[in-house]
Amino acid sequence: MSLLEIRNVTRRFGRLAAVDRVSLSVDAGEFFTLVGPSGCGKTTLLRMIAGFEEPDEGDLLLDGRPLAGIPPERRPVHTVFQSYALFPHMSVAENVAFPLQMAGTPARDIDGRVREALELVHLDDRAQHLPAQLSGGQKQRVALARALIGKPRLLLLDEPLAALDAKLREQITGELIALQRAVGISFVFVTHSQHEALALSHRLAVMNCGHVEQVGSPEEIYARPANRFVAGFIGTINLLPVEVREATPAALRLFAGGLGEIISTPQPGLCTGDRGTLALRPEQVRIIADGGDPMTENRARGSVRDCLYLGDVTVYRIAIAGGVVIEALLANRDPGVNRFLERDAPVIIGWARDSGVFLRD
Amino acid sequence: MVGRRRPGWLWVAAVGVYAFLYLPLAIVVILSFNDSLLNAEWVGFTTRWYVMLFEDRALLGAAANSLFIALVSATGATLLGTMAGLAMQRCRSGLLRGLPVLVFAPVAMPEILLGVSLLLFFRQVLDLTLGLLSILIAHVTFSIGFVAIVVRTSLAAMDESLFEAARDLGASAWQTFRHVTLPLIAPSVVAGFLMSFALSIDDFVITFFVAGVGVTTLPLQIYSMIKVAVSPEVNAVSTLLMALTLTLITVASRLAPAALRLRM
Ligand SMILES: Nc1ncnc2c1ncn2[C@@H]1O[C@H](COP(=O)(O)OP(=O)(O)OP(=O)(O)O)[C@@H](O)[C@H]1O
Ligand SMILES: [Mg+2]
């Protein structure tokens, strides 16, 4: 049985359904991420789990027991707020001790546990500081320690890294994974950064306009997006309008304007004439110098429209006949050497038949 | 750093304004130490008018009344005003949306209007004998709004998720108030109390209407002394009252800078 069950939950504000018939489950010990564009209902869903909002329809169950009517303070669920919400009049140690005091933990146990919790987030030397004397990253860690010290069943994190700079985000991302493993508490993490979602989660749910579009492991979501929204939201991707020419268990033959025939992985339930989109990751597209690569069944001629040098990789935008533009990504293995393609240089691109996913319209 | 030079006329204007505000008060203070009954010119330094104050039975009685009224009415206004401020912050929709205007209105209303209407209310509606009780109620009435404004302003500046975080981490509604809300608004509550105290101890107009015949407060007593003559004794008691008010307001503005800057 899963730890948290969300069954068909809807929450409306006026006529807008901020969360619309969402069903999800989170397992014990899992790092689960909600990702989606701004305003898609992530915070609202989190607030219902925490108990600050009640669903208009549907049920939330924790350990199989319904959460309806239980106030936030009696749910074994703690939250790390985006603004951290540290109590400004209390020291770091007092902030972290707060949940224990509210739970009536004997005073002699509190000091030891506060010290442990602060060691866990490497802040034991800041115990007597006030929140105002801490940096953003340190505040964030205090908020984490405070939310974890009461040993909740579930920890909710609402964009906890949004206020930090890129370098610090990266560092704390790594620490978060280690921390979650160490404490073994289920995390539900909200972000609108696809990088964080992919890097952190065991599983993630991609949300859009109050709906859940797809749930799966980062690999599943990245490699097999269920629809165009997910494909476009997670990572960059080439979306080519195509039509099914022939669908057999052995191969899927597609036709795209400007590209001609494309061979792709077979999918059940398609028939000739179906329209859809071929989603192709830029890193799956090869740029072939002399046409001698046997791995790429699909070929097209084009010319370099522009390129974007990013240090580790270079992104080329290749113009194909018929106005189609395909992005291809090349790793810069020997820095300085690989920038060989000038603007307007003629190239041949290719990709293997098992690259790319056909998405029905 | 290169110091920026401010234009000279700005200095002149500032000095002018301060002189306009404080020169009359300064004269009162200076004359209260003047060893002359006639007030007219400086004769010599003395503190005998202050000694005389403490032998004036009527004045001491009025001062005691004023202090008692200020203490009780400021306490009452602080309790009610704080609750009003909290309610305003909490209930920003629905029935209570009009609450702020209703609570703040007495702050801006002409004192004489408030005095007359309170008098009518006490006499005709409540049929109350004018005296200590009517003064106390009146003072609470005109102070609530100030406390509510100060408390509300400090709450509005706070991150709402602080209170949610407390609930989330296991505090009941009461514990949240006790451990988070109250400590955070405490400076504003104290500031509100001090302001109410200062307003109450200085008030003349409203008290004049609702005091009746039995009870005299310090401002009323000063007024009745002036009717005879502006004696050095009046200067001395005014100086003390001024010093007290100034201290209270200064402390209050330190405690709740944002709220008081808004009003003053
Ligand atoms: N208290 C509220 N009253 C009215 N509408 C609300 C309220 N809370 C949220 N909404 C609306 O519900 C929708 C979802 O909001 P929510 O805060 O859950 O989005 P989000 O996914 O967390 O976005 P972001 O990434 O920007 O934080 C938004 O359109 C928002 O305007
Ligand atoms: Mg949000």
Domain range list for chain A: 4-232, 238-360
Instruction: Answer yes or no: is pLDDT of B263 > 60.
Output: no
Q: Nearest by CB to B159, which of A50, A51, A85?
A: A85
Instruction: Answer yes or no: is pLDDT of B259 > 60.
Output: no
**Atom of ligand 1 lying closest to residue A82 CA:** 27
Of A277, A170, A284, residue with least CA distance to A232: A277
Q: What is the pLDDT of residue A155?
A: 95
Distances (CA, A) of A318 to A256, A306, A325, B237: 16, 7, 5, 91
Q: What is the pLDDT of residue B11?
A: 87
Residue A38 Cβ contacting ligand 1 at under 6 Å: yes
Residue A140 Cβ contacting ligand 1 at under 6 Å: no
**Atom of ligand 1 lying closest to residue A207 CA:** 21
Are A4-232 and A238-360 the same fold in CATH?
Answer: no
CB contact under 8 A, B167 and A71: yes
- The C-alpha atoms of residue B221 and residue B238 are separated, in whole angstroms, by 11
CB contact under 8 A, A73 and B161: no
Percent of chain B at pLDDT above 70? 92
Residue A11 Cβ contacting ligand 1 at under 6 Å: no
- Identify the H or E element spanning A9: strand A4-13
**Atom of ligand 1 lying closest to residue A14 CA:** 4
> Who contacts B245 (Cβ-Cβ below 8 Å, separation ≥6)?
B198, B201, B202
Residue A248 Cβ contacting ligand 1 at under 6 Å: no
Q: What is the pLDDT of residue B39?
A: 64
- The C-alpha atoms of residue A350 and residue A13 are separated, in whole angstroms, by 49
Best of B93, B154, B159, B169 to substitute, by most chain A Cβ atoms within 10 angstroms, is B169
* Nearest ligand, CA A158: 2
Residue A284 Cβ contacting ligand 1 at under 6 Å: no
CB contact under 8 A, B168 and A78: yes
- 3-state SS assignment for residue A207: strand
- Compute the radius of gyration of chain B from its Cα atoms: 22
pLDDT band at B4 (very low <50, low <70, confident <90, very high): low
**Atom of ligand 1 lying closest to residue A42 CA:** 21
- For tokens 């301060």, the residue is B18
Average pLDDT over residues B186-191: 90
Q: What is the pLDDT of residue A203?
A: 96
CB contact under 8 A, B170 and A81: no
* Nearest ligand, CA A12: 1
> Shortest Cα distance from B167 to chain A (angstroms)?
5
Q: What is the pLDDT of residue B260?
A: 54
Q: Nearest by CB to B169, which of A51, A89, A98?
A: A98
Give the number of other Cβ atoms within 10 Å of residue B85's Cβ: 29
* Nearest ligand, CA A157: 2
With contact defined as beta carbons under 8 Å apart, do B259 and B191 qualify? yes
A51 dihedral zone (left: phi>0; alpha: psi -120 to 50; beta): left
* Chain pair A-B, CB pairs under 8 angstroms: 56
Q: Which of A43, A49, A52 to mutate to test the pocket of ligand 1 (most atoms within 8 A of CB)?
A: A43
| Digit-coded pLDDT (tens) for A46-61 | 999 999 999 999 999 9
Strand ranges (E), chain B: none
With contact defined as beta carbons under 8 Å apart, do A299 and A349 qualify? yes
CB contact under 8 A, B169 and A83: no
Which of the 8 DSSP states describes residue A268? T
Residue A169 Cβ contacting ligand 1 at under 6 Å: no
- 3-state SS assignment for residue B25: helix
Q: What is the pLDDT of residue A289?
A: 62
| Digit-coded pLDDT (tens) for A204-249 | 999 999 999 999 999 999 999 999 999 989 888 999 999 999 888 8
Give the number of other Cβ atoms within 10 Å of residue B161's Cβ: 17
* Protein residues near ligand 2, an ion, with CB under 5 A: A 43
Distances (CA, A) of B22 to A284, B15, B242: 81, 10, 11
Average pLDDT, chain B: 85
Question: Which CATH number does the domain A238-360 belong to among 2.40.50.100, 1.10.10.10, 3.40.50.300, 2.60.40.1180?
Answer: 2.40.50.100
Q: Which residues of chain A have pLDDT under 50?
A: none
Tell me the residues of A at the B interface, defined by beta carbons under 8 Å apart.
Answer: 50-52, 71-73, 77-79, 81-83, 85, 87-89, 98-99, 102-103, 146-147, 150
Instruction: Answer yes or no: is pLDDT of B96 > 80.
Output: no
Task: Specify the CATH architecture of the domain A4-232.
Answer: 3-Layer(aba) Sandwich (3.40)
Give the number of other Cβ atoms within 10 Å of residue A306's Cβ: 12
Residue A19 Cβ contacting ligand 1 at under 6 Å: no
Distances (CA, A) of A155 to A120, A145, A152, A203, B240: 16, 11, 7, 15, 60
A159 alpha carbon to ligand 2 midpoint, in Å?
A: 7
Instruction: Answer yes or no: is pLDDT of B264 > 50.
Output: no
With contact defined as beta carbons under 8 Å apart, do A273 and A244 qualify? yes
Best of B93, B155, B168 to substitute, by most chain A Cβ atoms within 10 angstroms, is B168
Percent of chain B at pLDDT above 90? 25
| Digit-coded pLDDT (tens) for B156-173 | 888 889 999 999 999 999
Residue A208 Cβ contacting ligand 1 at under 6 Å: no
Q: What is the pLDDT of residue A259?
A: 83
Q: What is the pLDDT of residue B2?
A: 47
| Digit-coded pLDDT (tens) for B50-90 | 888 888 888 888 888 999 999 999 999 999 999 998 988 87
- In order of their start, the domains of chain B are 57-261 (1.10.3720.10)
Q: What is the pLDDT of residue A178?
A: 87
Nearest CA to ligand 1 atom 19: A39
